[in-house]
Amino acid sequence: MKHIIKLGLAGLIALSSAAGAFAQEFTNGTVKKLDAKAKKVTLIHEELKDLEMPAMTMVFQVGDDALLAKLKEGAKVQFVAERVNGKLTVTQIK
Per-residue pLDDT tens, the chain, 94 aa: give them.
555 544 444 554 544 444 444 568 999 999 999 999 999 999 999 999 989 999 999 999 998 999 999 999 999 999 999 999 999 999 999 9
Q: What is residue 76's predicted lDDT score, i.e. its pLDDT?
A: 98
* Domain 24-93, CATH among 3.30.1330.60, 3.20.20.80, 2.40.50.320, 1.10.10.10: 2.40.50.320
pLDDT at site 24: 80
- Indicate the burial class of 71 (C-beta count within 10 angstroms; 0-12, 13-18, 19 or more): middle
E strands present in the chain = 27-35, 40-45, 56-62, 76-84, 87-93
CB 82 within 8 A of CB 89: yes
Q: Model's pTM, two decimal places?
A: 0.74
For residue 4, the SS3 value is helix
On whether the CB atoms of residues 11 and 43 are closer than 8 A, the answer is: no
The pLDDT assigned to 49 comes to 92
